[in-house]
Amino acid sequence: MINVAVLGYGTVGSGVVEVIETNKDVIDKRAGQELHVKYILDLRDFPGDPYEDRIVHDYNIILNDPEVSIICETMGGNEPAFTFSMQALKAGKSVCTSNKELVANHGAELIRTARENECNYLFEASVGGGIPIIRPLNVALTAERIELINGILNGTTNYILTKMAEEGSDFDSCLKEAQDKGYAERNPEADVEGYDACRKIAILSSLMTGKTVRYEDIYTEGITKITKEDFLYAKKMNKFIKLLAKSRELDGEYYAMVAPFMIGEKNPLHGVNDVFNAIFIRGNTLGDSMYYGRGAGKLPTASAVVSDVIDCAKHGRKHIICIWEEEKLSLKSVEDTSRKFFVRVSEGSEDAVKKLFGDVDKIEAEGITGEYGFVTPVMTEKEFAKKSAELPGFISRIRLEED
């Protein structure tokens, strides 16, 4: 029998216990022996809970119990999750986590500590909830040089953008609807400003490159400035607006960014709607593949944590190789990357538009007066920023993603 401890009995932690108990027969068979949740660490008591007898308040009880070999860290945040995880790994106990913040900040260090102590630090649930993506990158795609990762990595923002597109509503009303349905937090900043997606693409970029990509170095732009008028233009152009998190190799250098993009029907991400997530990957010999599913939620995320627990159980004290070095990777500046831009500008700016951007086609959307839109030629971000600053009547811009 393998004894497991769960740190944090919130949404994901309680889901981990539920998944282990609900699917016990199949989980034990796949793990090769019985899994048993021996402890649940939380500051609170849970009177009446079916597992209240397993609740403990002192982490040292878990750390000092030689019978516990696997720990599920579902606390969230940096501390005390980092300290607890390091102590567990140094004691030879494997750690499985859903904590994207901790993985993004300390992933390489925790993996090294696991390797040094012949145990494992696994984090499938930290990106994409229940979508298998970490293990494919570490196992199924190890023969590939990954050239591109492009994903919809946040269900809250994808839900809001989907509702804005379908209902013609503004951002604030769609955000409130997302909050009412429990898809968005009361303070939604981490989601709507793109910070959540940024941490996730930092993790994927680190696995893509084998070095540490710091989320602080990634250009990040959220969806708060997207308007219902933008969707009228998108509909006219047969485009879709999505918050994309992307990482790409260009001439031996890498860049990463999070921002809203207009994408076309040929892009496989265009049909990913509501709270669903998807990750598109391009390998140099495999070509394109995509991974789709629920990117968050109690049971999907818990299922991913338990899949890591099973992996740890199967491998025992054998370390599972994960190439993620602590050396920091310097990213190429987004300013030097090139693309087209969709621009909205006030009527009367035609001469200035032609002077700065050439003979572009005017795009007019039904129900919008006093302005029009156009698509620029391909240019660098730096060049566009300079030209748009000189453009009288400039209203806004959205990047265009190549199909």
Quick count: other Cβ atoms within 10 Å of Cβ 370?
Answer: 9
Does residue 235 have an active-site annotation? no
Q: Which of 163, 200, 211, 246 is catalytic?
A: 200
Quick count: other Cβ atoms within 10 Å of Cβ 6?
Answer: 32
Would you call 336 helix, strand, or coil by DSSP?
helix
CA distance 217 to 329: 10
Place of tokens 């269900």: 155
Burial 36-48 (b: 16+ CB within 10 A, else e): ebbbbbbeeeeee
Paired with 288 in beta bridges are: 282
**Residue 185 counted as an annotated binding residue:** yes
**Residue 12 counted as an annotated binding residue:** yes
CA geometry: angle 81, 87, 89, nearest 5 deg: 100
**Residue 328 counted as an annotated binding residue:** no
**Residue 8 counted as an annotated binding residue:** yes
**Residue 297 counted as an annotated binding residue:** no
Question: Is the bond into 80 cis (omega within 30 degrees of 0)?
Answer: yes
Give the closest residue to 259 by CA, choosing from 236, 234, 226: 226
The one-character DSSP state at 127 is: S
Give the closest residue to 42 by CA, choosing from 85, 9, 5: 9
CA distance 167 to 140: 40
CA geometry: angle 195, 196, 201, nearest 5 deg: 95
**Residue 100 counted as an annotated binding residue:** yes
Paired with 380 in beta bridges are: 338
**Residue 7 counted as an annotated binding residue:** yes
User: First-to-last CA distance in the chain?
Assistant: 51
Find how far residue 150's CA is from the centre of its chain. Answer: 10
Give the side-chain half-sphere CA count within 13 A for 265: 3
**Residue 76 counted as an annotated binding residue:** no
SS3 for 57-114 is CCHHHHHCCCCEEEEEECCCCCCCHHHHHHHHHHCCCEEEECCHHHHHHHHHHHHHHH
**Residue 11 counted as an annotated binding residue:** yes
Distances (CA, A) of 281 to 264, 285, 363, 385: 17, 12, 32, 29
**Residue 14 counted as an annotated binding residue:** yes
Binding-site residues sit at 7-14, 100, 185
Catalytically active residues are 200
Binding-site residues for NADPH sit at 100
Binding-site residues for L-homoserine sit at 185
Binding-site residues for NADP(+) sit at 7-14
